[in-house]
Amino acid sequence: MAEIQGNLKGIKDSVLEEIKALYTEVIDQKQIISSELAMRLLELSGRIGKEISLYVTRSGEIKNIAIGTGETVQLPEFSGRRGINRLSGYRCIHTHLNGSSVLSGLDHSALRNNKFDAMIALSYDGQNEKQTLLSFAFIAGIDKDEHFITNEFGPYKLPEVLEFNFTNLVLSIEKILDKQISVKKNLTTTAEKCVLIGMDTGRNLSLWSSEDSLEELKQLADTAGALVIAKIIQKKAKPDPAFFIGKGKVEEIAHLVREEDIELCIFDDELTPAQQRNLEMVIGARVIDRTGLILDIFAQRARSNEGKLQVELAQLQYTLPRLTGQGLSLSRLGGGIGTRGPGETKLEVDKRRIRDRIAFIKESVAKVKAVRDVHKASRKKKRVITVALVGYTNAGKSTLLNTLTASDIYAHDQLFATLDPTTRKLALPEKEEAILTDTVGFIQRLPHQLVTAFKSTLEEVSDADLLLHVVDLSHINYRKQMDSVLSVLHEIGAADKKILTVYNKIDKVQDKETFLAKLEREENSVLISAKQAIGMEELLNLISENLSFQFVETRLLFPYDKAAKAAKLHDVANIKDQKYLDNGILITVNLTAEQIDNYKEFLINEG
């Protein structure tokens, strides 16, 4: 027999046994409650001085009994195992000891949150203790903000509701909900319901645990606009070549998909084209992997022409091998959550046409890169200092750029809020200036298609004079996130750049003293809160200290037979003055210490 939940303190064992005996009671399916059970429930509740709550199935079985304090009973939550247009299948019957069966705000809230078939309250009449009163409420529909509306009826004298057909009421409610939700689906874009699937091989191939990785996948799915219904992790020594997961687990997921009307399955690991096709055939829902999901998010975020081209290139490179024997269309591009983003053409395409499109996009990206290279050469010539923000997605890079440069670029608490690089002028101490660039955030297992497609954009990182590695210190896996960022920097050839570690969001860190004292001892690091503008002065000073570009006005004299070397100086430095003398070319120029050393043979001894 099931146990009794709640506050059992002070209740005699013999009375608890009487309450537990209620589990054997069965209510007629058409009745809200039987007269005998109502009277028994109120009698026991009055004896112990505490409210009692029963949770009853549609077949009339009592599945749970809970006891509260003298004023209230804790209402446990039930998992939403049914669709939004279906009620939970449970009704809650509970007692009130205040002489009134009128439902409280807490009762209505529990009714909405748990989608109970009904919320029912029993009490003795405060004016006549021999009279039993009953009030009940049910969900009557959905308002314009998609919140459940509840209607309450009563108080009734108990005999007045015993003949009421409860089953018909519940079925009518579900029909109303089904109609309202169907209309809303036609009028608005609803989130696709999805299930997340991961694998634990037990071999620690990644720094991330399977649970942490799947939780991050949930954040990605939320960002893409999906509604996560369930998360599943299978422990398996190695992936199945046909289905990635075991056949039994595939059938289990297929059953869940049918039961919950799930439209999409997202795998945390990259699937082969064959595995993806096999899974879709058995499960009966669309299947994508982590890479496809990230590509979809990038498709939503792309704003600039270059960004859209780069995303489409990555999508095409990802899709091409998945067209084998499929005759699929480009409508699959961006087909993770909904259908949107660059490249979402409905035309039927073959491999040749996709390859042609890839070639065209690469050519277009190359042209954009050429323009960027011109700007880059101009900055290099003028010796403009460049600083790039790098870090894990949602570490707070855009917020930091806004704070440091008094800008107002898009900065939100979401993954990949920034896709297109943004550049602003940064004022440093001693009246120095630099160019600060906000770049796309990194993530563990960043799809190689994106690294390749965004190569020209990521060169902003490789070409920077200094990198600020922004770290979300409040994240439980911040160390693992740091390792993932360093891995991507190595992949794009920027691992040897000078890097300052900027520990952000210290305002969200618990137990700061011990934790932060340890980090303060790290070399080339600083603790800040970009949102609260904490630590900005220390950060700016650290940037200045680590930029070895303190320019010195220098005079160089090139003999005419070295005129070619003098000409090259124009490509790497900002020339302030140039004169042609009898003995050579006199150039006044701002140079760094390193550059002065390269031209020391031409230095004019001012002494």
CB-based contact 359:309 (threshold 8 Å) = no
Contacts of 554 (CB under 8 A, 6+ apart): 588, 589, 590, 591, 596, 599, 603
What is the mean predicted confidence (pLDDT) over 291-298?
87
φ, ψ for residue 450 (rounded to 5)? -75, -40
Partners of 329 in the β-ladder:
348
Q: What is the pLDDT of residue 555?
A: 92
Distance CA 265, CA 336 (A): 10
Given a cut of 80, whether residue 403 has pLDDT beyond it is yes
Q: Which of 48-52, 270-274, 324-328, 372-376 has the lowest mean pLDDT?
A: 324-328
Distance CA 175, CA 525 (A): 61
What is the mean predicted confidence (pLDDT) over 489-506?
89
Distance CA 330, CA 342 (A): 10
Q: What is the pLDDT of residue 561?
A: 92
φ, ψ for residue 594 (rounded to 5)? -65, -40
Indicate the pLDDT class of residue 325, thresholds 50, 70 and 90: very low
Write the CA distances from 428 to 72, 197, 390, 402, integer angstroms: 61, 48, 19, 15
φ, ψ for residue 403 (rounded to 5)? -70, -45
φ, ψ for residue 75 (rounded to 5)? -100, 105
Distance CA 598, CA 250 (A): 66
Looking at per-residue confidence, does 576 or 203 come out higher? 576
Given a cut of 70, whether residue 323 has pLDDT beyond it is no
Given a cut of 90, whether residue 119 has pLDDT beyond it is yes
Contacts of 23 (CB under 8 A, 6+ apart): 1, 2, 62, 65
Indicate the pLDDT class of residue 314, thresholds 50, 70 and 90: confident
Q: Report which residue type is found at 59.
A: S
Q: Which of 18-27, 162-171, 516-525, 535-544 has the lowest mean pLDDT?
A: 516-525
Name the percent of the chain lying above pLDDT 90.
25
Query: What burial class does residue 381 get, using C-beta atoms within 10 Å of its C-beta: 0-12 exposed, 13-18 middle, 19+ buried?
Result: middle
φ, ψ for residue 194 (rounded to 5)? -140, 160
Indicate the pLDDT class of residue 122, thresholds 50, 70 and 90: very high
Cis peptide, bond prior to residue 273, ω within 30 of zero: no
Looking at per-residue confidence, does 267 or 7 come out higher? 267
Q: What is the pLDDT of residue 546?
A: 86
Looking at per-residue confidence, does 226 or 372 come out higher? 226
Distance CA 289, CA 337 (A): 12
Most confident of 157-166, 408-417, 587-596: 157-166
Q: What is the pLDDT of residue 331?
A: 38
pLDDT tens-digit map of 230-277 = 999 998 888 999 999 998 999 999 888 888 888 899 999 889 988 988
The SS3 call for residue 374 is: helix
CB-based contact 19:44 (threshold 8 Å) = yes
Quick one: which of 335, 34, 10, 59 has its CA closest to 192?
Answer: 335
Number of Cβ within a 10 Å radius of residue 391: 26
Q: What is the pLDDT of residue 334?
A: 41
CATH topology of domain 383-546: Rossmann fold (3.40.50)
What is the CATH number that goes with domain 191-369? 3.40.50.11060
pLDDT tens-digit map of 326-369 = 433 333 444 445 444 444 443 345 677 888 888 998 888 888 77
CB-based contact 131:89 (threshold 8 Å) = no
Q: What is the pLDDT of residue 346?
A: 38
Looking at per-residue confidence, does 565 or 301 come out higher? 565
What is the Cα gyration radius of the chain? 34
CB-based contact 313:357 (threshold 8 Å) = no
Number of Cβ within a 10 Å radius of residue 351: 11
Distance CA 185, CA 179 (A): 10
Given a cut of 90, whether residue 407 has pLDDT beyond it is no
Distance CA 30, CA 19 (A): 24
Tokens of 320: 């091409």
What is the mean predicted confidence (pLDDT) over 26-35?
90
Burial 459-468 (b: 16+ CB within 10 A, else e): bbbbbbbbbb
Q: Which of 292-306, 442-456, 520-534 has the lowest mean pLDDT?
A: 442-456
Most confident of 92-101, 177-186, 253-262, 347-356: 92-101
> What is the overall mean pLDDT for the chain?
81
